[in-house]
Structure formats: structure tokens, C-alpha cells
Amino acid sequence: MKLLVWLMVLLVCILLPGRVAAQGAQQIVIEQSDEFSYSGSAGVRALKGNVRLRHNRTVLYCDSALMFDGGRQARAYGRVRIVEPGENLLVRCRYLEYDAETGSARLYQDVVLSDDVLRLYSPELTYNTSKRVVNYTQGARMEDGSARLSSRLGRYAVESGEMIFNREVKLEDDSLTLSTDSLRYNRKWGRLYFVAPTHFVIQGTDVETSGGWHEMRTRISHLYPFCRVQHYDHHFLWSDSLYFDQNRGLGTANGRVQWIDTLWKIEIRANHVQFDRTRAFYKAWGDPLLRSFGGGEGDSLQGRRSTQSSSWVPDTLSLTADTLMAMRVSSRTNIADKFSENSKAGIDTSWLFKSWGRVAGQSRDAQLSCDSLVYLQSDSLALLMGTPLLWPATFQVSGPTMKFYNRGENSGTLLLPEGGVLADRLEDSLFHQITAARMQVSFDSGSIQYLHAVGQVLTLYHIPGEDSGYVGLNRIASDSVNIYFARQRPNRMIFLGKPEGVLWPLAQVPAGEDTVAGFEWMGKLKISVQEQIKGVILKNPDRGGYELFSVPNQVDAVDLNGGRNLKRKSRRR
């Protein structure tokens, strides 16, 4: 009798193993099957037709299945599906191998993992039902809303929404395309994390970065420790860190920032740059440097030809201050009217630059210092305010305000509407000087060619000796004067309006009569301007932008200066 009961219990365990409570978490439970067979010698259960298996919370559906190792291993065939009750995750394939001890399912052939939004396709992947982690090593493509991604390797943690992709990673969205070797993606945040050199394009902006993140929903990016940005064809930016809101066009770049506009031949370098790309507005601080390499679209570059070749080398304006601002302006004629009547027709926009706080500037032949400066690039028109000083060659120009209009090819006109002083240094303590209520100075190829002064004009002119040196001082007061220069020295002077003059031998000049009111030679400040600009360049080095357009290097500058000096010496001879 006892033996019969024992056989009946054993038969129930074989035929209805899913109903035995003692199976435990490491065994697979058979919940449904149209057909069932058991091979006692091999320990294999064969299931066929509407098969449903369960392991803990995981439910597996298939057309047929084999179970081994006392229900710890299973193979599923046909229309295989894995579902999690109460969850919207579904995994489908044609063939599956399942290990109950590890909770790992190996899926093959037409594998699809999906939820309400996600679709992931792969020829083969592994799904750990205990940890709820998906891995694939044979390549996959994914659709997550509007995002389409492919990679060779991948990992998806279902609970956290974290995805990691490796090798040949490519992503496309409605507004973004991306390629990299490694990428993290958090589905819950909709955020991409860059963990390897990455290239992506978003709404006309081409980006290269080695780290940081980008939110696909808000289109906000924070890129670091290095990034390179190209906006359309001619705006480039390099920085150590960049925070950018693509929808609003707002951003902040920090750490060795270099921004270049190759269309208008300008660049800005600084430690910090804030920008509004919609308004084309840039504000730079932290040792900022502005450089202009010539005119804009349709303009010939300002510069001169190299003595070593026939290539055109653009003249360079370098400007630094406590703060620099650059912005594109429309209705440019109204702005230009504030500075000059010489506005160009046919150009609707231009770059307008403002700088304030310890402003220092340098071109090929001149240096400048002031408290604030405004510069309109399309007209090469500058307004200097706050004790401005200008040093063209051996000259020094000072006045309450200055306006400079560049006519191209390193030529232009300097206006002192509120008066000022022009001095030409001859020796350590000798200076030609002129002061007036209003002055206009014309330059050509970096040299003063003509000066026109009006109102309370006072001119001090040192008389050269026959052999060398200077023998006397000529002091002339007049209503106006026209001075023509040759080789950077006065050649012909025309005084108008009852001029009165006196000539003293150099040794007999009365005390205080050898200088005009308001004159002080600021040689140390001139040297400080040069050192200030050199220091800013060292703190903010070129990050590769000069390869985008021709810019004179140090050798070119030496050759050009040397050639020009030799030419001047030959003229003097």
C-alpha cells in the first residue's frame, strides 16, 4: 500500500511539476502546454503547443520547449516571448536558452525588445530577468521615439533606463546625427553622455567633443573637457567647457575659448565667452583677445604683399580689455552715421565691437590705449574714448576722443573732434609737437601722409642741422595748418590765419616752451600695451583655428617688417 501511494505521488510530480510548491526560485514552472512528454533516462521534459513557463515574475511564451536539469534549464522554440507582469516590456525571438539559476535568457534569431516607445532589433542578445539587464554583442539597431541608433555592442539596464553602446555607434534623431565609439544614454532623462571622442550635428551645428552630455528633449548640452563647434560654414568655436541651449541659441564657453568667423575674418579668445547665437551676440572676459584679419564678404582684405612671395597677407588688429563684446548689427547705416558719413551701401549687417576697461590694441604699425572702444568692422570705423592714446610708428596722438576710419590696405583717417596733441619723437627728449581744437591725420601704408589742424593751433618744430642733430626750435601759433609728410617727417607746412612764430637756438629755449599744453610722452605705457597683448596671447593660445584661413605667422611678420624697414632706409639714402 505504501509503495502504491509513493508511485502516485511520483507520477503527479512528473506530470504536473508546475503545481508542486517545493520547486523553488531556481526552477522553471510549467503553467501551460497542449502536449507533454517526459524522458526519465535523460531527464528531459518536452512541451508543445501554447507553452507558458514562469520563473519568479518572468513569464515565457513559445510554440514548443525542452526542459533539462530538473527544471533549471530550458530551450524555447518558435514564437518566443518574454513578458514581465505589470510591465510593458516585451522580448521576442525565434529561439531561446534559459538558465534559472542565473535568470539569464539567451535569445537568437529575429530578436526584438520593445515597450511602449522602444524597439531594439538584434540577431542575438542576453536578457537577465533577475537583474533586468540586456546585453548584445552581435550588433543591434534601436528605435526610441524619433531616435534611431545602431552599435556593435550594447547594454540596457531596464530599471534605471541606462544604456551603454560601444563600437561603431551611430545615432539619428529628427534634429541630430551622431557617431562615436562609446556612448551612454539614459532613457528616463532623454540624456546622452559622451564617454569617448564624439561627433554630432544638430540643426546646422557640427560638434566634436570628448565628454559631457546632451539632452535630446530640451536640446541642452554641456560639453567637456574639450569641444569644437562649427556653426554652418564659417563660425567655429573651441573651448574646454561649453554649456549650450540649442533651442534658445544661448551658451557659455569656458577655458581657453577661441571663436572664429571665417567670413568676416575675425576671432575672439578668452577664458569665458557668453553668446546668444540668435542675436549673434558674444561677450568675452578673462584675458579676452579680439583679432580682425581683414574685411568682410565682398571686401578685399586689408594688408600688404609679402616680400618673400606674392601671397596676400592680411593686416591684423589685436585688441584686449577687461571685457569685450561683439554683435552683428542690422540697419547698419544708422549706426555708421553716428561715426562717419562714409557708410558702405549694399551691406545690411556688420560686426560691431565694444571693449572697456584697460583697452589695449595693436596692428602691424601702431599701438593704442584707452578706457573704451567701439569698432564697426564693415567700415573699419573705430571710436576711442577715455584718455585715448595712439602710437603710429614714432608718433604719439592723444585727445579726449578719437575716431579712426580705415580706407583699406592699411590706410585711413584719424579724427580728433575735441582737440588733441600729436608728437613725433626725434630723440630721447626732443619732439615735434602740434596741438589744436580739431585735427585730422591721414595715413597711407602705415605712415602719416597729411595733417590738417584747425583752431588755436600751436606747432613746435625742431630745426635739423646741416650735418646731424637739431640746432633750433620753431614755435608757431596760427588759426590752422596743413602739414605734408615724407618718410614720416614733416616735408611742407602751410600756416593760415595770421601765424606768429619765434625761433630759438636749441640751447636757448626758455623753460616750459619746448612742450605744448597737455603733452606727455607715454613710452612706458606703449611698451605695456605690447606686453599686455603678448601676455593675453600666451594665456589664450591658438587651438587650431588658423588652419581655417590664411593668417601671417611670426616669420611672415618679421619678413614684412624687415622688408619695409630696408625699403625706408634705401629711400633715406
State pLDDT tens for residues 420-432. 999 998 887 889 9
Separation CA 346–CA 90 (nearest Å):
63
Contacts of residue 555, Cβ cutoff 8 Å, sequence gap at least 6: none
Q: Which pLDDT value is given to residue 231?
A: 84
Using 50, 70 and 90 to split pLDDT, how confident is the model at 549?
low
The pTM of the full predicted model, rounded to 2 decimals, is: 0.78
Task: Flag whether pLDDT at 437 surpasses 70.
Answer: yes
Element holding 240 (H helix, E strand): none
Residues forming a β-bridge with 37: 46
Cell of 343: 557708410
Q: Per-residue pLDDT tens for 157-192?
A: 999 999 999 999 999 988 899 999 999 999 988 999
Report the first-to-last Cα separation within the chain, whole angstroms: 137
Least confident of 50-54, 263-267, 278-282: 263-267
For the chain, domains (ranges, CATH) are 24-138 (2.60.450.10)
Q: Which residue, 431, 349, 351, 376, is CA-closest to 398? A: 431
Q: Which residue, 67, 83, 84, is CA-closest to 75? A: 67
Average pLDDT over residues 5-28: 47
Q: Which pLDDT value is given to residue 408?
A: 61
Find out whether 189 and 214 touch, Cβ atoms under 8 Å: no
Separation CA 283–CA 244 (nearest Å):
15
Q: Which pLDDT value is given to residue 451?
A: 94
Task: Flag whether pLDDT at 316 surpasses 70.
Answer: yes
Using 50, 70 and 90 to split pLDDT, how confident is the model at 54?
very high
Q: Which pLDDT value is given to residue 19?
A: 39
Least confident of 133-147, 247-261, 292-306, 356-370: 292-306
pLDDT, greater one: 85 or 326: 326
Contacts of residue 462, Cβ cutoff 8 Å, sequence gap at least 6: 426, 430, 431, 432, 470, 472, 473, 474, 506
| Helix (H/G/I), strand (E/B), else coil: 513 | coil
Using 50, 70 and 90 to split pLDDT, how confident is the model at 458?
very high
Rg over alpha carbons for the chain, rounded to the nearest Å, is 40
Percent of the chain clearing pLDDT 70 (strictly above): 83
Average pLDDT over residues 320-333: 82
Q: Which pLDDT value is given to residue 52?
A: 96
- Indicate the burial class of 417 (C-beta count within 10 angstroms; 0-12, 13-18, 19 or more): middle
Q: Per-residue pLDDT tens for 186-213?
A: 998 899 999 999 999 988 889 999 999 9
Separation CA 174–CA 202 (nearest Å):
9
Q: Which pLDDT value is given to residue 409?
A: 55
